């Protein structure tokens, strides 16, 4: 969909949504009044034509002066009525066009409001608050793993130094550390994909979560702002 771009503050200076709806209501009411006037004028036109038709035999065949005078009066009034109808129809067409323009403006105004709400959602992600909490959690998780690994190493060394019989236990503690990582991965399986992670490791190196968000959401924002509304 192509959409014309407008700012949140109405560029046309047409005011708030209530102002637009008020103008639309007034324009539509004017249109209805004009339709009523045109309908009454057509009724009057029909009455005059009917009266004129009845007078024509006397006026034309019998040269009745009174009938001729009345026909002349009717013709003058018919001219005024028809001119009034033509003028009212011209004004009515303008009112209809104005109503359509205001309706289009209302649709655009509402659309801009919805777009602003979506833009706000996207921009709030770019503030990085949610990502910062996730980054902190990752840091805490990495520290916890390192602390546990250091403790395993310390305990394994203590056992091995105490007695060579415990060297196997030192290796077992290292295996426990690996198992611990797989177990955490299992509990995070709903949000952390594990398959093929080695293949994509080079893509992740040196990139933080906020950088990824800014790149992807930035492209979405550009697409959003490039839309144009076409009627």
Q: Are residues 76 and 177 in the same domain?
A: no
Strand partners, 229: 3
- State which H helix or E strand residue 163 sits in: none
pLDDT tens, N- to C-terminus, the chain (231 residues): 333 333 333 444 568 999 999 999 999 999 999 999 999 999 999 999 999 999 999 988 988 999 999 999 999 999 999 999 999 999 999 999 999 999 999 999 999 999 999 999 999 888 888 889 988 999 999 999 999 889 888 888 888 888 887 778 777 887 888 888 878 877 777 777 666 555 555 655 666 667 767 777 777 778 778 878 777
Cβ burial, residue 176 (10 Å; 0-12/13-18/19+): middle
Q: Are residues 24 and 115 in the same domain?
A: yes
Tell me, yes or no, whether 64 lies in a domain.
yes
Tokens of 57: 């035999």
Residue 6: the pLDDT is 39
Tell me, yes or no, whether 10 lies in a domain.
no
Residue that finishes a domain, picked among 86, 110, 126: 126
Residue 9: the pLDDT is 39
Q: Are residues 36 and 119 in the same domain?
A: yes
In the chain, how many domains are there?
2
Q: Are residues 154 and 207 in the same domain?
A: yes
Residue that finishes a domain, picked among 99, 126, 153: 126
Handedness of CA 214, 220, 223, 226 (dihedral sign): negative
Residue 209: the pLDDT is 66
Q: Are residues 135 and 200 in the same domain?
A: yes
Q: Are residues 133 and 220 in the same domain?
A: yes
Residue 84: the pLDDT is 97
Residue 194: the pLDDT is 62
Residue that finishes a domain, picked among 70, 97, 126: 126
Pinpoint the alpha helices (H) of the chain. Answer: 17-56, 65-126, 129-162, 167-187, 201-204, 209-225
Residue 157: the pLDDT is 87
Distance CA 70, CA 179 (A): 112
What domain range includes position 78? 17-126
What is the model's pTM?
0.63
Report helix, strand or coil for 168: helix
Tell me, yes or no, whether 5 lies in a domain.
no
Report helix, strand or coil for 118: helix
Residue 202: the pLDDT is 61
Residue 35: the pLDDT is 97
Q: Are residues 117 and 147 in the same domain?
A: no
Q: Are residues 91 and 106 in the same domain?
A: yes
Q: Are residues 96 and 175 in the same domain?
A: no
Tell me, yes or no, whether 104 lies in a domain.
yes
Q: What is the pLDDT of residues 24-83, one digit of tens each?
A: 999 999 999 999 999 999 999 999 999 999 999 998 898 899 999 999 999 999 999 999
Residue 130: the pLDDT is 87
Q: Are residues 104 and 45 in the same domain?
A: yes
Specify whether the CB–CB gap between 88 and 41 falls below 8 A: yes
Query: Between the CA of residue 102 and those of 93, 98, 108, what are the distances in Å?
Result: 14, 6, 10
Tokens of 28: 């539509």
């Amino acid at each position: 969909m192509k959409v014309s771009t407008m700012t949140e503050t109405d560029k046309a200076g047409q005011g708030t949504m209530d102002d637009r709806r008020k103008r639309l209501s007034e324009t539509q009411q004017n249109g209805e009044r004009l339709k009523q006037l045109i309908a009454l004028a057509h009724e009057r036109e029909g009455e005059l034509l009917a009266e004129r038709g009845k007078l024509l035999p006397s006026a034309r065949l019998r040269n009745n002066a009174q009938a001729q005078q009345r026909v002349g009066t009717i013709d003058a009034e018919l001219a005024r009525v028809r001119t009034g109808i033509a003028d009212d129809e011209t004004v009515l067409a303008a009112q209809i066009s104005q109503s359509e323009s205001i309706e289009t403006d209302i649709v655009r105004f509402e659309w801009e409001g919805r777009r602003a709400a979506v833009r706000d959602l996207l921009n709030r992600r770019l503030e990085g608050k949610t990502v910062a909490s996730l980054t902190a959690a990752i840091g805490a998780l990495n520290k916890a793993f390192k602390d546990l690994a250091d403790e395993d190493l310390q305990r394994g060394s203590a056992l091995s130094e105490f007695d060579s019989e415990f060297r196997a236990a030192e290796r077992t503690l290292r295996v426990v550390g690996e198992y611990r990582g797989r177990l955490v991965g299992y509990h995070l399986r709903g949000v952390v994909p594990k398959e093929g992670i080695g293949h994509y490791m080079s893509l992740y190196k040196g990139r933080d979560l906020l950088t990824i968000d800014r790149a992807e959401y930035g492209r979405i924002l550009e697409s959003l702002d490039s839309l144009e509304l076409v009627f």
